[in-house]
Every structure is written in structure tokens, then in C-alpha cells.
Amino acid sequence: MRLMDSRKRLLLAGLAGGILGIALAAAGFWLAGRGGAAGWLPGADAKLLAEVLDRIQADYVDRTDNHELMSGAIRGMVGELDPHSAFMDAGEFEDLRIATEGNYSGIGVEVTLESGAIIVISPVDASPAARAGIRPGDRIIAVDGRPVEGAELADSIARIRGEPGTVVNLGISRQSVPAPLDFAIERAIVSVHSVRYEMLEPGYGYLRISQFSETTGTDVGQALSALRQRGSGQLRGIVLDLRNNPGGVLDAAVEVSDAFLEQGTIVTAEGRAPEASFRMAAATGDLSHGARIAVLVNEGSASAAEIVASALHDNGRATVMGRKTFGKGSVQTVLPLTDGQALKLTTSRYFTPIGISINGRGITPDVVLPDTTQPDGARAPPSGEDSEVRAALAWLKGGKPALAAANAAPAPR
């Protein structure tokens, strides 16, 4: 597998906002310290900052802590850059590290911060949030009865975290439901088993990736081997389900793409720093042995999931089916700081193999399928009973999607 360079790095391409048992992750990160002198602050700006701090200390209605004030100033400065850059304290940084290893305490939902709001990207499969009926696009408007306000987003996120067995009450605004919804969710240890597979019928396999963790590439290889054995050594077609997949480890997304490719570009990125620009390409060896591929996506498919969908589509290996994806096309570098803290900073933008940026645009599927999810967020049926999976299977077998409302005309990307 071709990596960006020889240094030991961990990249995330996804978790478009954060995990609640939360890690404020995003399109990509590597753990790499950077030396160098502190930045230059103009004298007038330094004077203004000191003046503001002095006025707060002297006149604010409550006593303030200088450390908390500076942390808040740093959060505000970094947060104003874009929705995905953030300052992380030691606890948030540790949550991020643990989340990439697949186990953490919380409710299991990925979020992004947009315009002073906490927006759900997707719940983790089989997590407390998924079982409760939390859906992509839900807006968290209250935590334990306290409204979520722009100035207190970090505090709201912290209050969603908690010990296993405790309950958090979320107020949710959902576009399809006129009145706010209330959810009482018991926190638990969330174990992310990112790969699931089964045979849909002889010769046709189903492969579900819920997010991209450090082990996903290996797990996909093992899943494909098992599916081939169940298919008497041959697979005619695979439904690759990336719906509600918020992303994750970039190298894992590259490995998954490579598993289905013999050659070709998987993803490129451009940034100002030399290490922020790179190209990742496939190595020889299609583990599916040329099986037809239908990739299922929706509005909860983000970043690393979009990388895989685009890589397989643009290299002529798959048809993308479902609904327009989230549109997360930037890369964040997580830079460790002092005292276990870290800076998550957008350092580059990535592009599909044919050179398109999906940032803010998403991927429009080749075959658009209607949303069959129930408005109340009812639990999804088993894969064999899932109408979108059946539609993809029908396409793999050479027929049209088994949904009357599906639009089979290729859509512009």
C-alpha cells in the first residue's frame, strides 16, 4: 500500500465533526509534532487582547479564570477559520485517539458544528444513538434541558459525554418533523465493528462499512476472502454499503479502495505545506477478482466514505447509488501541543481521481434512490429486507433498480 511518506502517521478522512462519547474529528489527521518559533503578533493586536482581558477581569459580573479565558480565546480563533478546525483540550484529544481504535464511552454519534449548531452526521451502527433513533441531519437543540447556543457548543458537547449507564436527554430538531423531539439515551461503551458482511444470494455479497478505523482495510480483505469462499470461490457482484458512514482513517479508505482496484489514482490533496500535498494510488491486486460493485451512499456518507465512492466510480469499478453525499473534502492535521492538548487544523483539500473537489457539493449518485427511512428514525431492516440493498442487487444482476421511484438516468457529478 502506498502511503504519503515514510513517517509513522495516522490520518483521518472523516468523522466529519466529532464522536459524542465525542472526538471532534474531521476529514483527516496525522499525529505529528511540528517545531518552530511562535507566530508573530502585531503590537496593536497584543495591546487590544491585553486590554480586553483586563476589562473582563475588572468588570465582568463573575470572577474569571485567566486560563479558561485564554482557552476560550484560542477556541474562538481556531473555530473562526472553518467549521472543521478546532482546539482540543487533553480530554478531547484523548477521546479522538481512543475513537480511532474503536472503543469509547458515549452515545455513539458523529457530529459537525455548523453556524453555531451541532448537526448529526450519522449514528454509529448499533450504538445507543442508533438504537434510540437519532438520524443524519438531526440538529441537537438541547442537552438535559439546557438549550444549545453558539457560545456554548463545547460545553454542550462535553455534557453529552458521560459514564456508561448514565442517561443524557437530547432535544432534537428534525426537518421532516414539525415539533422538537426528545430522546433519553443511556450512555454505553461503544465498540465500533466497522465491517459486516453476508451473502445476499449465491454469487452476490453484501459488505457494510460503518466507518474507517485502523483495522478496516484488513477486515475488508478478510471479508472479501470469506465471501469468495461462500460463493464457491467466485463473486459476481458486491453491494458496498457506505450509507451513514462519516469517514475515519484515511489510510483505511485508501486500503479499501485499493482492494477493488488494479491501478489508478485513489485520491489527491493540495495544501500550502509540502506534506499537505500528496497523491495516493492503487497497487496491483483486485481482491474481489473483478466482481461488479454497487456502492450505496446517502447524506450521512462523508469524507473517507466519499473518497472510496469516488475512487471506485472514477476508475470505472462501481456504480454509485442512493442520495447525494455530505460533501466533506478537506483534510485536517492534528498537531499535538503542550499538556496533552492539540490543534486540529485544516491543511489541505482533497480531490477525486478525476480532479473534482466534493467539498460543500457532495457526490450525486449515478442512480438516485428515494429515501425510504421512516420519519421517526425507525431501526433499519436487515440487509436482505432493505429496499435500497435490493435495488443495488437488482442492478448487479443486470436489471433496473427494484424501486419504482428510482431514477436510473446518470446524474451530473
In a domain, 175, yes or no: no
At 283 the pLDDT is: 95
**303 carries an active-site annotation:** yes
At 164 the pLDDT is: 92
* Report field, pTM of the whole predicted structure over 0.85: no
In a domain, 359, yes or no: yes
Which residue pairs from 48-54 have beta carbons closer than 8 angstroms and sit at least 24 positions apart in sequence?
49/73
In a domain, 47, yes or no: no
In the chain, DSSP finds a helix count (H) and a strand count (E) of: 9, 22
- Choose the catalytic residue: 95, 125, 314, 366: 314
* List of E strands, 155-257: 167-173, 181-186, 188-191, 195-201, 204-209, 237-241, 247-249
In a domain, 297, yes or no: yes
Q: pLDDT-based confidence at 116, cuts 50/70/90?
A: confident
At 154 the pLDDT is: 67
**Total domains, the chain:** 1
In a domain, 281, yes or no: yes
Domain that includes residue 313, residue range: 195-328+348-396
Find how far residue 197's CA is from the centre of its chain.
Answer: 20
- Choose the catalytic residue: 85, 105, 257, 328: 328
Beta strands 318-322 and 367-368 are: parallel
Q: Rounded CA gap, 224 and 205, in Å? A: 9
Q: 133 by DSSP, 3-state: which? A: coil
21 or 245, greater pLDDT: 245
At 25 the pLDDT is: 31
SS3 content of the chain, % helix, strand, coil (to 5): 30, 30, 45
373 or 289, greater pLDDT: 289
Strand partners, 322: 297, 368
Q: pLDDT-based confidence at 93, cuts 50/70/90?
A: confident
Q: Which residue in 88, 100, 95, 76 sits closest to 28, CA to CA? A: 100
At 240 the pLDDT is: 98
**314 carries an active-site annotation:** yes
Query: All 3 cell numbers of residue 191?
Result: 465498540
Q: Which residues, including other chains, have CB under 8 Å from residue 355's CB and lie 6 or more apart?
A: 268
> What CATH number should be reported for the domain holding residue 293?
3.90.226.10
- Choose the catalytic residue: 303, 310, 348, 383: 303
pLDDT digits (tens, 9 = 90+) for 226-282: 999 987 778 999 999 999 998 888 889 999 999 999 999 999 999 998 889 999 999
- For residues 313 and 301, is the Cβ–Cβ distance under 8 A? no
In a domain, 46, yes or no: no
pLDDT digits (tens, 9 = 90+) for 380-398: 555 657 899 999 999 999 8
Q: pLDDT-based confidence at 21, cuts 50/70/90?
A: very low
At 39 the pLDDT is: 53
Neighbours of 40 (CB within 10 A): 8
**Distances from the Cα of 153 to the Cα of 24, 78, 114, 149, angstroms:** 12, 14, 10, 6
* Mean pLDDT of the 34-63 span: 78
Torsion of CA 250, 251, 254, 256, to 10 degrees: -100
In a domain, 52, yes or no: no
361 or 117, greater pLDDT: 361
In a domain, 29, yes or no: no
pLDDT digits (tens, 9 = 90+) for 279-311: 999 999 999 999 999 999 999 999 999 999 999
Mean of pLDDT over the chain: 82
The yes-or-no verdict on residue 40 having pLDDT over 70 is no
